[in-house]
Amino acid sequence: MFSTRVTALLAPNRFARALAAHRAGGRPLIDLTESNPTRAGFDYPRDLLAPLADARALRYDPHPFGSIDARTAVAKEYARHGLTIAPQRIVLTASTSDAYSMLFKLLADAGDEVLVPRPSYPLFDHLTRLDLASARPYDLEYHGTWTLDLASVERALTPRTRAALIVSPNNPTGSFVSRAEIDGLAARCAPRAIAIIADEVFADYELEEGSAGRAGRVSARRDVLSFALGGFSKSIGLPQVKLGWIAVTGPDRLVESALERLEVICDAYLAVSTPVQVAAEDLLNRGAGIRHQIAERVKANYRHLQSAAASAPACTVLRSDGGWYAVLQVPSLESEEDLVVGLLQSENVVVHPGYFFDFARESFLVVSLLPPPAAFADGIARVLRRFRTP
């Protein structure tokens, strides 16, 4: 009866079962996987969302790409990053995940392929599959810093490749994609009519000074059809407000053809609410305070992690240039699954195992840098003491 877009329901794995049992037992827990900024103790002014009640939203006057005022407000966000994008080339969506779905519908037929980074955010398999496409990995490699392995991109290309996806900075490696890497990617994509999709949701969060400035931005180029993605969920810490966007750039002729088709797709759904469009500019201005708090918090927790790990020589913090996550390489004394279940049961701390993100080998732990500093420091101390030699 049901489509195969949704994977057959899988039984929860051992880690998920252990976590559910821990929570059900009411045991204490330090959650170093927290990705939801609204649960991480930031100061959200009580009236922050007041602009959503603007009476202008009482009138419904839909446009497939959203109101020009809201798109202009998003264009100003790009200007803040030194990028000039015409509001007419900005498409509003309900979230970044929604933007992915619009783009897969635009670019891929059933069975087509999208190149995705590995390691990366585990949602891509799922999102491509829901649109009948499939994700093919290319590799990011670590040697003191992460680089995009262009040879692995070449190997992953097939006649069915329709898009190459980059995440900059990436979740969880924290690596920005450099200008030279985008050059390499564009040189391989443009001649084959492959578009680049650049997920830049964490672009505001720099962990290592100067790294955001050195990053490449697809929106600055005209040689390859590109789609840059952003949204409220990360840029101002408001995932519940549901506003994302796509900035379309590249050769004019291709941009125009893409926009014509996107208009048909977006018109079929009209997924973005009027109140959020009316409030967009105001919320982007008010949200700067939340962004600032998050940026300071993730930097401070990253620095703390580096200094705490210095006293545990068996553990290494991988360089993370930006974003909300950090990666800890730890000795492989047991499987990652045994390790994370052990940390949960004996230390009351939850971290993500590297295999969730498809790291090439074990053992890596991924931690969120969002938790309040005291809880973060306590959680990290519990993780590290497992590897400290007496």
Applying CB under 6 A, the residues found at the interface with ligand PLP are 35, 95-97, 121, 167, 171, 199, 201, 231, 233, 239, 244
Tell me how far, at minimum, the Cβ of 220 lies from ligand PLP, in Å: 20
Output 235 or 312, the one with its CB closest to ligand PLP.
Answer: 235
Tell me how far, at minimum, the Cβ of 189 lies from ligand PLP, in Å: 20
Output 233 or 274, the one with its CB closest to ligand PLP.
Answer: 233
DSSP string, 110-152: TT-EEEEEES--THHHHHHHHTT-EEEEEEEEESSSEEE-HHH
Q: In which residue are the tokens 């040189």 written?
A: 187
Tell me how far, at minimum, the Cβ of 276 lies from ligand PLP, in Å: 13
- Written as six digits, the tokens of 282 are 């105001």
Tell me how far, at minimum, the Cβ of 170 lies from ligand PLP, in Å: 7
Output 254 or 365, the one with its CB closest to ligand PLP.
Answer: 365
How many Å apart are CA 33 and CA 376, to the nearest integer? 10
- Written as six digits, the tokens of 290 are 């939340």
CA 6 to mean position of chain CA atoms: 22
Are residues 125 and 173 in contact, defined by beta-carbon separation less than 8 angstroms?
no
Q: In which residue are the tokens 């195992």 written?
A: 353
Residue 151 CB neighbours (<10 A): 11
Tell me how far, at minimum, the Cβ of 325 lies from ligand PLP, in Å: 8
Considering only CA atoms, which of 390, 235, 217, 231 is closest in space to residue 314? Answer: 390
Tell me how far, at minimum, the Cβ of 352 lies from ligand PLP, in Å: 12
Output 182 or 308, the one with its CB closest to ligand PLP.
Answer: 182
Output 199 or 206, the one with its CB closest to ligand PLP.
Answer: 199
- Residues whose CB falls within 8 Å of the CB of residue 296, separated by 6 or more in sequence, listed in order: none
Output 112 or 199, the one with its CB closest to ligand PLP.
Answer: 199
Output 203 or 225, the one with its CB closest to ligand PLP.
Answer: 203
Tell me how far, at minimum, the Cβ of 201 lies from ligand PLP, in Å: 5
Long-range contacts (CB closer than 8 Å, 24 or more residues apart) made by 155-158: 156/115, 157/115, 157/188, 157/192, 157/194, 158/113
Phi then psi for residue 329, to 5 deg, are: -90, 130
